[in-house]
Amino acid sequence: PSTMFRAAMCRTAMRRLLPLLALSYAGIGPAAWGEIGVTWQEEIGTQKDAASCPEQTPPAAGQISYVHLWVDQDGETHLADCTVSELTVKKLPGGESAQYVRNLFDTIPGLNTSSVIVTQQLGPNPWHHCPQTQFVITLSGMWFVNTTDGDQRYLPPGTWLFQDDSPKHPAAVPGTRKAMHYSEAIGPCNQMVVQWDKAPVIGHPCPF
């Protein structure tokens, strides 16, 4: 699993562990934990897992990352970890601090919005095309994407996927998995989908 997925699992482990640590510090041992429903041995394992969690740090200044699901000339789908380029520094409207900005609408030819959708994904979505060129932003919950080259990404809250493996992709072939991907939600997963009129392209990973 990716670092982001492991970090999300670590946060879950810590939420389970902290109440038990509080009881322990209060002098209440494992034998009296009762309804909490976990054993001392299980929690020792959880504590070790939590200790090995990657630290959660904010992004570096001027760095906005995203995952790109792209298609090669043979119709195979791939995943790339990308960082937005050509960011410029501008003052916030209040004038007290700065922000890094890139207007994709103005700088990417053909990137014209067509719809903004909020959705909650439940369970698996077998091999399929995306409806059209789109961004998918995870709002809450967790989901993952598999590509035909065998790659995978977990997408926890705050992650942004860009994809254009639609039925109109020049490498798509009906009746095959060319220009397709598999996705699945781990429990309910809330997403915002921003769809664009931009025509799908072959190759060109990390276009922004």
User: Concatenated DSSP letters for 37-103?
Assistant: ---HHHHHHHHHHHHTPPP--PPPTT--EEEEEEE-TTS-EEEEEEE--S-EEEE-TTSSSEEEE--
What's the pLDDT score for residue 70?
98
Q: What pLDDT was estimated at residue 15?
A: 45
Residues of the chain with pLDDT below 50 are 1-3, 11-18, 20-22, 25, 33, 35-54
Global confidence as pTM = 0.72
**pLDDT tens per residue across span 148-162:** 999 999 999 999 999
φ, ψ for residue 4 (rounded to 5)?
A: -65, -40
Residue 65's pLDDT is what?
Answer: 95
- Which pLDDT belongs to residue 28? 53
pLDDT of residue 7: 52
